[in-house]
């Protein structure tokens, strides 16, 4: 059975002080839920908002053993997100969204990713682009674009056949 993976590596451009706060929030996120609530409950701050949002919205969140399905590292221009095996691109996009929304940042994040397989597969490869702003997350899938091109091509072919048949 083929193993599928999603690969991406991108920069969430942030001021250095906000990058540090996001790293603090991700560190808090990784605490078991009961420890998170005990340590953070008295704080009502953006760091708590980001960590709490991640706990509430990340796809495979386990309150007893929280794990991130992406790597992050401080970069001179913000936060670099990637993964060595398969990134959870939805969680990474949600993180970007909540960070931009929380700190009211006008950053425009573009996440290009590829979907691959470890063996030959007829439709085992593809890709998409996700665009994130403080207002929304938008996704553009390659297969949808290809399908639109195929439909347009077939219409041209059919119109040509109809024109040739009419003459």
> For residue 156, what are the CA distances in angstroms to 144, 149, 151, 161?
19, 11, 9, 9
Q: Is residue 167 part of a domain?
A: no
Q: Is residue 86 part of a domain?
A: yes
**Residue 18 belongs to what domain range?**
4-141
pLDDT, tens only, 90-103: 999 999 999 999 99
Structurally, how many domains does the chain consist of?
1
Report pLDDT for 2.
66
pLDDT, tens only, 127-136: 899 999 999 9
Which of 1-5, 23-27, 74-78 has the highest mean predicted lDDT (pLDDT)? 74-78
Q: Is residue 9 part of a domain?
A: yes
H-run or E-run covering 154:
helix 142-166
Q: Is residue 75 part of a domain?
A: yes
Report pLDDT for 54.
87
Report pLDDT for 58.
86
Give the residue with greater pLDDT, 24 vs 167.
24
Percentage of the chain beyond pLDDT 90 is 47
Give the residue with greater pLDDT, 39 vs 165.
165
Q: Is residue 47 part of a domain?
A: yes
- Residue 39 pLDDT more than 70? no
Q: Is residue 155 part of a domain?
A: no
Q: Is residue 100 part of a domain?
A: yes
Q: Is residue 160 part of a domain?
A: no
Report pLDDT for 136.
97
H-run or E-run covering 13:
strand 10-13
């Amino acid at each position: 059975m083929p193993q599928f993976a999603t690969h991406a590596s991108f920069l969430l451009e942030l001021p250095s002080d906000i990058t540090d706060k996001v790293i603090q929030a991700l560190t808090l996120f990784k605490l078991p839920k009961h420890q998170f609530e005990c340590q953070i409950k008295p704080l009502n701050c953006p760091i708590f908002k980001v960590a709490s949002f991640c706990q509430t919205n990340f796809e495979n969140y386990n309150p007893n053993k929280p794990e991130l399905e992406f790597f992050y590292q401080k970069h001179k221009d913000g936060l670099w997100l990637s993964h060595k095996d398969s990134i959870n691109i939805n969680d990474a996009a949600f993180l970007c969204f909540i960070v931009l929304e929380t700190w009211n940042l006008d950053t425009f994040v573009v996440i290009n990713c590829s979907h691959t397989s470890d063996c030959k597969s007829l439709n085992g490869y593809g890709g998409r682009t996700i665009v994130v702003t403080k207002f929304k997350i938008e996704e553009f899938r390659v297969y949808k674009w290809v399908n639109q091109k195929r439909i347009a091509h077939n219409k041209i072919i059919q119109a040509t056949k109809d024109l040739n048949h009419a003459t």
